[in-house]
Chain A
Amino acid sequence: MTAPKEHLIEVRGLRSQFGDNVIHDDLDLTVERGEVIGVVGGSGTGKTVLLNTIIGLKEPEGGSVSIFGRDMATLSKEEAADVERRTGVLFQSGALFSSLTVLQNVAAPLVEHTRLPIDTINEIAEMKIAMVGLKPGAHHLKPAELSGGMKKRVGLARALALDPELLFLDEPTAGLDPIGAAAFDELIRQLSDDLGLTVFMITHDLDSLYAITDKVAVLADKRVVAKATVSELERSDHPWIREYFLGPRGRAARAA
C-alpha cells in the first residue's frame, strides 16, 4: 500500500494538568491504522492520563484529540456512540463488572450497542471468550472467583466484544507470570494481525515491546520525545531512552 495511511488517533498540542502539576505540555502523537504502538515512560509521566484523555474520560486542559478523524471535543451524541462502538479498552486491573458473570460481562457491550437476539449475543460472547483462550467452564463464574490473569483475558474479551478497530490496553501484561505474559503478547499480536486491529498499548514490559509492537512512543519531559521502532530507539541519544533500552533489562529482552 502506497497511499498515506489513515491517522486513527491524532493528538495535537495536548496539555494536561492537575492543579499546578503539569503532566503533558504540547504533546503530539499520531497513530496510524493497523499499527501496534507501545507507549512507555517512567512512573508519573502520565501514560494512563494520556490514555484517559484519548478515550474521552478526561478533558484536556489544552490542545486537541481526534479519533477516526473526528475531534473528541466536538462530537455529537451519535458520533460519540459510534466512536465507543469502534474502540475497545482493557483497563489496568480488568475493571470487570463485579455483579455480572464472565459471560454477561463480555455480552454487556453487545447488549448495549447492538440489536442482536440474545442467543446470538451469547454465542458471540462465547466465541470471544474462546478467542482469548479461556475454557467454557469459566462462563458462569463471577469476577471475584477469577485469577488476575483470567480477569485480564475476560477484560480483553469484553474489549473485543464489538470487533473494535482500535484497541486500548493499559499494562496488559502487568501482574502476569512470564509464561502468561508471553502468551498474552502472542494473543494480542495474533488478534491484531488477523483482525486488522490498531492497538494502543501502555506497557512497562520490555519483552512485550520487542515481541509485538510496530512502533514505540516514549513519554518523557512532558512530551512524546520519540516515536520509532525499537531498533531505532536503541540508537537514540536521549538519556532516558538510552537507560531504558540499553540498561540490563533492556539488553536481556533484546537478546531474547
Chain B
Amino acid sequence: MARADFQVEEKGDGAVLSLSGDWTTTSLGRTGRRLQDAVAGRKVARIDLTDLQKFDTAGALALVQGGVGGLGKAAWKARPEAGRIYALVEKLERQSVPPPRRADPVTRTFAKIGHGVYDFAAEATLSLAFLGRLIAATGSALKHPGRIRWAAWVSQAERSGLDALPIIMVTNFFIGAVVAFLGVDLLTQFGAGVFAVQLIGVSVLREFAVVITAVLLAGRSASAFAAEVGAMRMNQEIDAMQVMGVNAFQALVIPRLAALLVMLPLLTFAAMLAGLFGGLLVTWSSLNLGPAFFMQRLQDDPNMFQHAMVGLSKAPVFALVVAAIGCRQGMAVAGDVESLGRRVTAAVVQAIFAIIFLDAVFALIYLELNL
C-alpha cells in the first residue's frame, strides 16, 4: 500500500496537481489537510494521474475539500472510473451539523434533580397502576380458574424454582456454617459454646433462610422476568396478545407470580435445612458435639418452631415482591436495547431493596406482637 502524496506545480495557464500513491481511506492519513494548505488560493487547471494508484471516495473527498473543483470529465480521461467517483462526491450536498448543544453543568444538575423527582412520581403512579391491574387479573383468575394457564405455571415453577434449588441450598449451607463459626468462637469465650446451636437455629430459621433465598431469586428470577417480558415487548408480542384479546397479565404475569408464590416457601424450607446442616457440621467438628446433640438442643427450645414459622410467613410476601417487580419492569421496557438493560437493572435493585426493607418491617411487627 503506497501512501497518498501530491505535488503542485505552476505552469503557464494555472497550477498542475500531480497525484501519486493510493488515495484511499486506509492510506490517506493527513494528506487531505496538506493538500488544502498547498492549494489554498490557487486555481488547479489540470491534474496529472500517471502515478495515481487506487482511488476511492475518501480520496475524492480530500480533493473536493482541498479546493480542487470544477474539473470536467476531460481532466479524468486517463482514469475514467476515478473520475466517476470524483463526480459522485463533488455533487453531494455535504453539510456538517454541530451536535445538539448540552446545557451548562448547573442547569444539567437541576434538570437531573427535577427529572428524578418527576420520574419517581411517575414510576410510583405506574407501579400503583400495575398493582391495580395485577389485583384485577388475580381476581378474575380466581373467579374463572379454568383460565389459569397451568402449563406456563408449571414451566415457570420449574425454571425459577426447581432449577434454583442447588444454588440456594449451597449458599444457605455456607451461611449456616459461617454463623456457626462466629457463634462457637464468641460463645466459647463465655463458656457457653453449646448455645451456638440456638444461635444457628434462630438466625437461620427466622432470617437468613428466607432473606437469602429471596435475594437469590431477586437476582435470578426478577432479572429473568424483566428480560423475558421486556424482550416480548420489544418484539411486539405483548401488542399481539392485546389485539388477540389475550390479557397479558393473565398470560405472563400471573403464572410467574403464582410460580414464585408456591416455590419460594418450598425453597425457603430447603434453605433452612441446608443452613442448619451447615451449622451442624461446624458444631460437630469444632465442639465435638454430634448431630444427635444438635437436634436435641433444637427440639428442646420451645420457641424454635415459632422461629421457623415466622421465617416461612415472610416467604409469600417476598415472592410477590420479586415477581411483581420483575414483571412490572419488563412491561415498562421501551423499544430500544438501552431501556431493556436499564429496566433489568432496576428490577434487581428494586427487588433486593424491597426484600430488605420489608424484612425490617416484619421484624418491627413481630417484635410488637411478641412473636
Residue from A122, A143, A161, A163 with most neighbouring chain B CB atoms (10 Å):
A163
Q: Given A136-B96, A137-B97, A193-B84 in contact, is the A124-B26 Cβ separation under 8 Å?
A: no
Asked if A144 is an interface residue, CB under 8 A from chain B, the answer is yes
Q: Does the CB pair A126–B94 fall under 8 Å?
A: yes
B96's contact among A115, A122, A161, by CB below 8 Å, is which?
A122
A124-B61, A127-B57, A163-B58 are contacts. A114–B25 as well, Cβ < 8 Å? yes
Chain B residues positioned under 8 Å from A136 (CB to CB):
94-97
Report the separation of the CA atoms of residues A122 and B99 in the bound assembly, to the nearest whole angstrom: 12
Contact A131 B61 (CB under 8 A): no
Provide the A155-192 mask, 1 if CB < 8 A to any CB of B, else 0: 00000111100000000000000000000000000110
The answer to whether A130 and B94 have CB atoms under 8 Å apart is: yes
Contacting pair B61 A196 (CB below 8 A): no
Query: Which B residues are in CB contact (< 8 Å) with A254?
Result: none
The answer to whether B337 touches A98, judged by C-beta atoms less than 8 angstroms apart, is yes
Asked whether any CB of chain B lies closer than 8 Å to the CB of A223, the reply is no
Stretch at the interface among B28-36, B295-303, B347-355: B28-36
- A9: shortest Cβ distance to chain B, in Å? 20
B338 near A131 (CB under 8 angstroms)?
no
When the two chains form their complex, are residues B25 and A116 in contact, meaning their CB atoms are under 8 A apart? yes
Interface residue A209 (Cβ < 8 Å from any Cβ of B) = no
What's the Cα separation between A162 and B336 when bound, in Å?
A: 27
Q: Mark A127-142, 1 if CB is under 8 A from B, else 0.
A: 1101100001101101
Instruction: Return chain B residues, CB-CB under 8 Å to A24.
Output: none
Query: Is the Cβ of A131 less than 8 Å from the Cβ of B97?
Result: no
Is there an interface contact between B99 and A163, defined as CB atoms closer than 8 Å? no
Is residue A90 within 8 Å, beta carbon to beta carbon, of the partner chain?
Answer: no
Is A99 located at the chain interface by the 8 A CB criterion? yes
Q: Is B9 an interface residue (CB 8 A)?
A: no
Contacts of B57 in A (CB 8 A): 124, 127-128, 131, 160, 163, 195
Range of interface residues on A (Cβ < 8 Å): 35 or more
- Residues in B53-88 with C-beta less than 8 Å from chain A: 56-58, 61, 65, 81, 84-85, 87-88
Chain B residue nearest to A163 (CB atoms) is B56
User: Which single residue of chain A is at the shortest CB-CB distance from B32?
Assistant: A120
Known: A85-B26, A114-B25, A195-B56. A123 touches B96 (CB 8 A): yes
Contacts of B33 in A (CB 8 A): 117, 120
Judged by a CB distance under 8 angstroms, whether B41 is at the interface is no
- Complex Cα distance, B58 from A194, in Å, reads 14
Contact of B61 (CB < 8 Å), options: A115, A127, A162, A193: A127
Distance in Å: Cβ of A142 to nearest Cβ of chain B: 8
B95 & A126 in contact (Cβ 8 Å cutoff): yes
Q: Is A233 an interface residue (CB 8 A)?
A: no
Is there contact, CB below 8 Å, between B85 and A123?
no
Interface string of B89-124 (1 = CB under 8 A from A): 100111111011000000000000000000000000
Determine the chain A residues whose CB is within 8 A of the CB of B89 once the complex forms: 127, 131
Closest CB in chain A relative to B334 CB, distance in Å = 8
> Taking A110-B25, A126-B95, A163-B56 as contacts, is the C-beta distance between A194 and B88 under 8 angstroms?
yes
Interface residue ranges of A224-255 to B (CB < 8 Å): none
Q: Is A113 an interface residue (CB 8 A)?
A: yes
Specify which chain A residues have a CB less than 8 angstroms from the CB of B94 in the assembled complex. 123, 126-127, 130, 136
The 5 A-B pairs at the shortest CB distance, nearest first, are namely A163-B56, A144-B336, A136-B95, A130-B92, A194-B84
Task: Report A's interface with B, CB cutoff 8 A.
Answer: 85, 98-99, 101, 110, 113-117, 120, 122-124, 126-128, 130-131, 136-137, 139-140, 142-144, 160-163, 190-191, 193-196
Q: A128-B57, A130-B93, A136-B97 are in contact. List 19 more A-B contacts (CB 8 A).
A: A85-B26, A113-B25, A116-B28, A116-B29, A116-B58, A120-B28, A126-B95, A126-B96, A127-B57, A127-B61, A136-B94, A136-B95, A137-B97, A162-B25, A162-B26, A163-B25, A163-B56, A195-B85, A196-B81
Listed by A's residue number, 22 A-B pairs whose Cβ atoms lie within 8 Å are A116-B58, A117-B30, A120-B28, A123-B61, A123-B65, A124-B57, A126-B94, A126-B95, A127-B61, A127-B89, A127-B92, A128-B57, A130-B94, A131-B88, A136-B95, A143-B336, A144-B336, A163-B56, A194-B88, A195-B56, A195-B85, A196-B81
